[in-house]
Amino acid sequence: MNLPKHATLIEVGPRDGLQNEKNEIPTDVKIQFIKELKKAGCKEMELTSFVSPKWVPQLKDAGEIISYCSDEDRNLVLTPNEKGIARAKEANCKDVAFFVGVSSTFNQKNINATTEESMQKLLPLIRSLKEEDFFVRACISTSFYCPYEGKIEADAVVELCRQFADAGVDDLSVADTIGMANPLEVHELFSRLKKALPDVLITAHFHDTRGMALANIYAALQAGVDRFDTSAGGLGGCPFAPGATGNAATEDVLHMLHALNIETGIDMNQLLKAVEIIEPHLSGSVQSKQYQLSKRSKTLLTE
């Protein structure tokens, strides 16, 4: 087996996981959720997004979240435009993320711009941020399939990632946005990306729409990927991707990685405590396998 000894899980629950939650989550609950995730050992995390409250009311408390949760860890904030970047700078954030869809149709429905138009705006911003010593992440949506355009060619994904790499991004989060990818496609694309862009961090982002997230993560591991976006409780979804369900659950990915003797630095018991904090405030119940198992056994799991 070609497996790494260590893998990094980037916790996206506080931002990607909650942004489309129907219930309004109290700010103090979000802060407690984030702090418990940090106690569990989550050193890289998407905390929130400086997006217009008109479009994402759940994240209207972004400034407060940053003020209470910033520390020496990598605390990513999504900055969809120049206004978002300005707010991030005001809050003294140094870790920012952008997103763009490989599919222009998806991109237009998401941010009312084609992929090419988005890149024309983003690349100069990224170069400027790198001059100011920001950590910059690019989130690449619809890297395998699009709900509007169907299958996405790997060549298009590699080319888009190359443009971001040339602009100086530190991390590329390559996403199976609607959860249609299979392990063969995953292994092929990530093998190409690792070979083409050896100096950039490559992160895999999977949704579990069809129950394939863990299989795809295993395929990505075999391709040399050792960074994965995951969401505590499997929270998340995308309003512009019909049928897409939550992200790969951090606790389920953690269980698999530890079973494969891959270190993560994250404690399962503490992670489940974080999920327990957020679940009562959600519009639905947490369905991840490890969390459900812990509830049935009425005790936290042990590794």
Return the number of other C-beta atoms located less than 10 Å from residue 5's C-beta.
Answer: 8
As annotated, the active-site residues are: 238
Measured CA to CA, the distance from residue 142 to residue 185 in angstroms comes to: 13
Residues 6+ away with beta carbon under 8 Å from 108: 114
Euclidean distance between the first and the last CA atom of the chain, given in angstroms as a whole number: 22
Whether the Cβ atoms of residue 58 and residue 20 lie closer than 8 Å to each other: yes
Sign for the pseudo-dihedral over CA of 247, 250, 255, 259: positive
Whether the Cβ atoms of residue 152 and residue 102 lie closer than 8 Å to each other: yes
Q: Which two tokens stand for residue 255?
A: 């269980």
Measured CA to CA, the distance from residue 290 to residue 261 in angstroms comes to: 18
Whether the Cβ atoms of residue 79 and residue 88 lie closer than 8 Å to each other: yes
Whether the Cβ atoms of residue 190 and residue 217 lie closer than 8 Å to each other: no
Whether the Cβ atoms of residue 267 and residue 258 lie closer than 8 Å to each other: no
DSSP 8-state code for residue 9 = E
Measured CA to CA, the distance from residue 33 to residue 237 in angstroms comes to: 19
* 292, burial (CB in 10 Å: exposed 0-12, middle 13-18, buried 19+): middle
